[in-house]
Amino acid sequence: CKNIYFNISHSQNIIAIGFSENPVGIDVEFEGVDGIKIAKRLFTKKENDYIKSPFYYKFVKCKNIK
């Protein structure tokens, strides 16, 4: 029996499940979610400053498109 890898992601009413014989990752994000509000609750000021930086925004945008 081969190893089966899986990954699950959800956001609002969207769910994605990936199965593979190799390690697999999947991520879904609901566009209406205000990430800045969530970040303020979860991260330090220094981390929030980085998240709001133009580089990080562009990186995340490109990552999500791929």
pLDDT tens digit sequence for 1-49: 689 999 999 988 889 999 999 999 988 877 766 777 878 888 889 888 8
- Alpha carbons within 13 A on the beta-carbon side of 65: 6
Residue-level pLDDT at 65: 67
Residue-level pLDDT at 32: 66
Average pLDDT over residues 46-64: 78
For residues 59 and 10, the model is more confident at 10
Q: How wide is the angle at C-alpha 9 spanned by C-alphas 7 and 13, nearest 5°?
A: 145
